[in-house]
Homo-oligomer: A and B are copies of this chain.
Amino acid sequence: MKVILDLCVVPLGVGVSLSRYIAVCEQVLARAPVKTQLHAYGTNVEGEWEDVMCAVKECHEALHRMGVPRISTTIKLGTRTDRNQTMQDKVRSVEEKLIE
């Protein structure tokens, strides 16, 4: 089952500057067999359910190993059986409607 997911990991108890921790998550995701696209409030991730969810877990594990005591993560995720759709397809599909 393929999934497109939006991942937003929020480390708690480590102050207000979180980019260092988000960068570690980006590195974890880069090593996983998934496609990713960073944006201003999270990261889009595309891949097989098991691969994507394994990468999400590894993000939590990596941050806890760095000493982050608490993490609150928000995820949006979509699956569909009617068609195969990539992250790029989703953006293009909206942009095409804007041009029409």
Task: Say whether B78 contacts A77, CB under 8 Å.
Answer: no
Interface residues on A, range: 35 or more
Task: Say whether B20 contacts A97, CB under 8 Å.
Answer: yes
A4: B residues at CB distance < 8 A: 40-41
Task: Say whether B75 contacts A74, CB under 8 Å.
Answer: yes
User: Sorted from nearest, which 9 A-B pairs have the closest CB atoms?
Assistant: A23-B97, A40-B87, A6-B41, A13-B16, A19-B93, A69-B82, A70-B80, A75-B75, A39-B39
Interface residues of A (CB under 8 A from B): 1, 4-6, 8, 10, 12-13, 15-16, 18-20, 22-23, 26-27, 37-42, 44, 46, 49, 53, 57, 60-61, 64, 68-82, 87-88, 90-91, 93-98
Q: List 27 A-B contacts (CB under 8 A).
A: A6-B40, A6-B42, A10-B10, A10-B72, A12-B12, A12-B18, A13-B15, A13-B16, A19-B94, A19-B96, A23-B98, A39-B44, A40-B44, A40-B88, A40-B90, A41-B42, A49-B60, A64-B79, A68-B81, A69-B80, A70-B79, A70-B80, A71-B79, A72-B77, A73-B75, A74-B74, A74-B75
